[in-house]
Structure 1
Amino acid sequence: MSDVEVTYSTMRFLKSPSEPQNRVRPEGAQPPLDTQDKECSVPWRLIAVATGILCLLLLVAIALLVTHSKLFAKWFCCGAKCYYFTVKEHHWKACNQMCQDSGLSLLRIDDMDELTLIKSQAHPHSYWTGFSYDPRQNKWKWTDNGTSDLNLTAISLQSLRGKCLFLSSTRIDIIDCYGNFHCICEKRMGDGL
């Protein structure tokens, strides 16, 4: 036979929980921890509830932003200009004043390319532009006194006191300045934006 050492041990099972446990432990072994009457040092339930509430609030905020995104004005930049499309409707003078109060100017359309670009962004509303009839000078002009290569010959620009130019995604036309439309303000990049 070979020299193999065999070790036997005896297992003893408790018959009831009240029976004392007299076990012999090897040196260095730790007794099991009794966790029935102790509370965890980290408040897990509190952390779980707080995290759940935070997630719920974030979901509600995201849902509100998505469903009410039409309530916010929009900025759009292209080339050397940035455009600010308002949500609220105003008459022409109020639009002009709002733009000026914000350090902007009411939209001046420089050419047909810009008109096409703005009309593509205008859907579904109509917007005031910065082009109106100035009765003091008896002529049509842009609010910033700038020039434009926009061809407005398709529009009858006779002496129309109290008239202003508006645009939509489908047309550009002259109308009474006291009507209510949305505003498009602009800022040129070289003007300190």
Structure 2
Amino acid sequence: MDEENNAFRAYRGKSLLQRPFFPIYALLGVSYLLVLIGFVVALSKVATISSEITKMHSELAKDPFGHDFHLFPCGADTRQWEYFGGKCYYFSLKALPWHQAKAQCEQQQSQLVIIDSFAKQNFLQTRTRNERFWIGLHDQQTEGEWKWLDGSNYRTGFRNWKAGEPNNYQGQDEDCGQLWLNGEWNDFSCTTDSYYVCEKALPSKATPASKG
């Protein structure tokens, strides 16, 4: 009888010692499962990010301008050119005679600006205020027959001459047009130094813009 009692006590003690470990094992199992799930989720996110990066690289390879095209429509390497109304404009920092200014614009694949709308006039006069800038207008072939460099119709097009202009001041030929101090147009001697405005079309996204 004593032996049975002793055996029962030993079994009961062993059972009491084993029971507290079961919840621990269960928690460890749940923890391992959660870690495994987290690892799988992390791998999935890494794969997604890797796929997006690969896609971005592929898009940049097709479009070398990338997001810079939207920040600098006239070309990331030509930031001195300003965008307005679908075209690019360069406001010179150096004064030159009209013919030299024309040549400088042409070297930059552009031309002296053509003013064909009130909106463009407003844009230009806010940027050229208090200075004089050559524009692509002249009557050098025939006195009084003003022409735009791009062949636009001067007679039916937009005009913004200063009062009393165009004229010939004190008998001097004034055959080249310029934006006057307040943005109105004035005719002036083509050999006089003046700042100038170049104009060119928006560069293609597929072709890097030329430096200018």
TM-score range, shorter chain: 0.5 to 0.7
Single out whichever of 149-158 and 84-93 deviates more from structure 2.
Answer: 149-158
Match of 1:176 in 2: 189
CA–CA distance in structure 2, aligned partners of residues 155 and 130 of structure 1: 20
Q: Does structure 2 retain, via aligned residues, the 8 Å contact 1:92–1:128?
A: yes
C-alpha RMSD of matched pairs (Å): 2.9
Give 2:198's match in structure 1, choosing from 161, 171, 185. 185
Match of 1:92 in 2: 98
Q: CA 1:105 to 1:87, structure 2 compared with 1: closer, same or farther past 3 Å? A: same
Match of 1:82 in 2: 88
Q: Which residue identity lines up with residue 140 of structure 1 in the other structure?
A: W
CA–CA distance in structure 2, aligned partners of residues 118 and 138 of structure 1: 24
Q: CA deviation at 1:188?
A: 2.1
CA–CA distance in structure 2, aligned partners of residues 138 and 90 of structure 1: 24
Match of 1:129 in 2: 135
Q: Does structure 2 retain, via aligned residues, the 8 Å contact 1:110–1:147?
A: no
1:48-87 aligned at under 5 Å gives the runs 74-87=80-93
Q: CA 1:158 to 1:127, structure 2 compared with 1: closer, same or farther past 3 Å? A: closer
Q: Which residue identity lines up with residue 85 of structure 2 in the other structure?
A: G
1:1-193 aligned at under 5 Å gives the runs 74-135=80-141, 139-147=145-153, 149-152=157-160, 154=163, 156-157=165-166, 161-170=173-182, 171-189=184-202
Q: Which residue identity lines up with residue 176 of structure 2 in the other structure?
A: C
Q: Does structure 1 retain, via aligned residues, the 8 Å contact 2:160–2:185?
A: no
Q: Give the total of aligned pairs.
A: 121
Unaligned runs of 5+ in 1: 1-72
Q: Which residue identity lines up with residue 167 of structure 1 in the other structure?
A: L
Q: CA 1:97 to 1:155, structure 2 compared with 1: closer, same or farther past 3 Å? A: farther
Q: CA deviation at 1:145?
A: 1.4
Q: CA 1:138 to 1:156, structure 2 compared with 1: closer, same or farther past 3 Å? A: closer
Q: CA deviation at 1:189?
A: 2.5
Instruction: Find the residue that maps to 1:179 and give its secondary structure.
Output: coil
Show CA shifts across 1:11-43 (max 9, x none): xxxxxxxxxxxxxxxxxxxxxxxxxxxxxxxxx
Show CA shifts across 1:23-66 (max 9, x none): xxxxxxxxxxxxxxxxxxxxxxxxxxxxxxxxxxxxxxxxxxxx
User: Taking structure 2 as the reference length, what is the TM-score of the superposition?
Assistant: 0.49
Instruction: Say which structure, 1 or 2, has more relative contact order (CA 8 Å, 6+ apart).
Output: 2
Q: CA 1:169 to 1:115, structure 2 compared with 1: closer, same or farther past 3 Å? A: farther
CA–CA distance in structure 2, aligned partners of residues 117 and 169 of structure 1: 14
